[in-house]
Amino acid sequence: MSRSNAEAKPDPWRMPVIVAQIPDTGLHRKLEASAAERQAMAEAASLREVVSAQADFDVVPKSGGRIQVTGRVRARIGQTCVVTLDPIESEIEEEVDLVFAPEAEVRRMADLIEEGKDDAEPPEVVDPPEPIVNGMIDLGRIATDALFLAVDPYPRKPGVVFEAEVTALDPEDHPFAALKALQDKKGQ
C-alpha cells in the first residue's frame, strides 16, 4: 500500500531502539501504549477502540550485524459485531520472532531468493530478514504490526451465527415466466 508523502501518517506507536546501543547481552523492553497512541492505532485499523496494548520484547544481537527480536504483544480491542452490530471487546495475544539485518544484506538476500525461484525444485521458503532502517529498530511499530495482523476482520459476539433469511420461491417466478405467459396467451 503506497501513500504519497502528503498522505503519510506517522506510526501510531513508536519506540525506536538504536542498534549501535544494544549491549552484547541484549536488552529487554516492556512497552505500554499511551491513550493517544491507542487512539491513533484504533483510527489506523478502523477499530472502535484499543482499550489496552502492551508488549514485552527481548532484543538480542546476532552474528553479521543481525538483531533478533522476540516477545509477545497483548491487547484488548473494541470492535462491532458484524452480525448484531453490538459493541464487543476482543483479547489479542501474539508471539513475535523477527530477525533484522542491515539493509544491504536484506537486498542481497532478496536477490538470492529471487534467483532461486528459477530452480526446477522449489527450495524451502525462507523469509528474508527485516531491514534495519537508519540504524534503528522500532519496537512500537513491530508491536502495532503484530496487533493489526491479529485483528479479526469479521468479529462476532460469542454464540452469534449469521443465518440468511430463506424464502420459498414461487414456482411461477422464474426467468422464463413471461415467455410462458405469452405462449399460454397465444395458445388460447
Asked if residue 1 is part of any domain, the answer here is no
The whole-number pLDDT of residue 2 equals 40
Residues of the chain with pLDDT under 70: 1-9, 110-126, 166-172, 187-188
The whole-number pLDDT of residue 166 equals 67
Asked if residue 7 is part of any domain, the answer here is no
Q: Which residues form the domain of 50?
A: 16-187
Which residues make Cβ contacts (< 8 Å) with residue 50, sequence separation at least 6? 33, 38, 39, 41, 42, 75, 76, 77, 78, 147
The whole-number pLDDT of residue 90 equals 93
Asked if residue 3 is part of any domain, the answer here is no
Nearest to 29 by CA among 138, 111, 104: 138
Alpha carbon distances (Å) from 49 to 27, 75, 154, 183: 31, 11, 15, 61
For 40-54, write each residue's pLDDT tens digit: 999 999 999 999 999
The whole-number pLDDT of residue 3 equals 42
pTM above 0.85, yes or no: no
Asked if residue 98 is part of any domain, the answer here is yes
Asked if residue 29 is part of any domain, the answer here is yes
Q: Tally the domains of the chain.
A: 1
Asked if residue 108 is part of any domain, the answer here is yes
The whole-number pLDDT of residue 68 equals 96
The whole-number pLDDT of residue 128 equals 79
Asked if residue 10 is part of any domain, the answer here is no
The whole-number pLDDT of residue 163 equals 73
Asked if residue 79 is part of any domain, the answer here is yes
Place of cell 544494544: 22
